Structure 1
């Protein structure tokens, strides 16, 4: 028997948008395709914006998910940010780790009744920034843990992946091509499927009289 109709917003930065992938799938398109192939009735909305920090996501999340996750629907929000927070501007990071955690808390609140999955930031081509990213990733993991919310560590897997590092280096120093996004999707897909199974598989479909489910 098919599971419920699940509507999920993927909200974050250029990695969510799939920047640099000539197939236009990114990791979001890839994990969504796997979930649907596994039998999940999933509608995915990609709300990735290039250059967005955690603060930007926290500011826009509520108004962007509202029309896509109507009351009564089985709703999920996948959050992913952090790389742009750690970019240096005039010698200072755009967003401190403490402010990143604050933005995460606002994002959880803005998600309302939707189930939330947090996907941490991947590695980039600059070793100094990667040190900052490691700290930010750990701060996000701890913040998610305090909420009892699931967290996917993508930094460890990407920083150790020769394919990811090569594609980022051959690209713009941040974004990989298709093979790199395959690596990232491979890291995320297991936890993503587990999240869908745990949070939605046994949820009865909402009863909404008078609506055709469009």
Structure 2
């Protein structure tokens, strides 16, 4: 079965950022990306979000939750939206790396193509730790030839991102911030991963 012959079904796992919390339009980055995904049939995107979840929590629940949403009549894909909770929880980089590695390895064994979106900048005080966490996640994904979107480095000093955070609670993005994450996803291998033409989003 060639790419494009089955309708796309995306299981998107992550925390409140995957759910688009704080976006007045209610789209988040997931909704914006799906809206700009030029599939022949409508894309089914199922967000499985747990606010404040660490990579340990995500690793413990993802397979059972995703299982229930897979279909033999669809091109099933896994999108992993990694959050910032590991920093607040004090998890070591080694533990965070292992948690992501385990998810990607199981997905590979089950032949579920994966795509990883890293954690964006948040509180200024967490900047260095988040930069290290994003780099660690990127290394894990790259070693497995899984696409990884670095949202931290491009946004850490981005004026629009920083002003968007400041206009809210200082942690969650709003409309503009989610739009920036969506832009990064769409321009970091999204269409190629899905085997679809790039619409120039």
TM-score when scaled to structure 1?
A: 0.83
What aligned pairs does 1:121-140 form with structure 2 within 5 A after superposition?
Answer: 121-124=119-122, 126-140=123-137
The reply to whether residue 60 of structure 1 matches residue 61 of structure 2 is yes
The match for 1:177 is 174
Q: How many Å separate the matches in 2 of 1:3 and 1:162?
A: 42
The reply to whether residue 23 of structure 1 matches residue 25 of structure 2 is yes
Deviations 1:89-120 (A, max 9, x none): 5xxx1x22111111112212443221000111
Return the offset for 1:40: 5.6
Q: How many Å separate the matches in 2 of 1:48 and 1:163?
A: 26
Structure 1 window deviating more from structure 2 (64-73 vs 153-162): it is: 64-73
The reply to whether residue 153 of structure 1 matches residue 150 of structure 2 is yes
What aligned pairs does 1:1-214 form with structure 2 within 5 A after superposition?
Answer: 3-35=5-37, 37=38, 39=40, 41-71=42-72, 73-87=74-88, 93=90, 95-111=91-107, 112-124=110-122, 126-190=123-187, 191-197=189-195
Q: Given that residues 54 and 83 in structure 2 are in contact (C-alpha distance below 8 angstroms), is that contact kept between their aligned partners in structure 1?
A: yes
Aligned residues: 191
The unaligned stretches of length 5 or more in structure 2 are none
TM-score when scaled to structure 2?
A: 0.88
Q: Given that residues 11 and 45 in structure 2 are in contact (C-alpha distance below 8 angstroms), is that contact kept between their aligned partners in structure 1?
A: yes
Misfit runs of 4+, over 4 Å = none
The unaligned stretches of length 5 or more in structure 1 are 202-214
Return the offset for 1:128: 2.5
Three-state SS of the structure 1 residue aligned to 2:43 is: strand
Which protein is bigger by CA-based radius of gyration?
Answer: 1
Return the offset for 1:4: 2.4
Q: Given that residues 168 and 176 in structure 1 are in contact (C-alpha distance below 8 angstroms), is that contact kept between their aligned partners in structure 2?
A: yes
Deviations 1:24-45 (A, max 9, x none): 100000000110x454642110
Return the offset for 1:160: 2.6
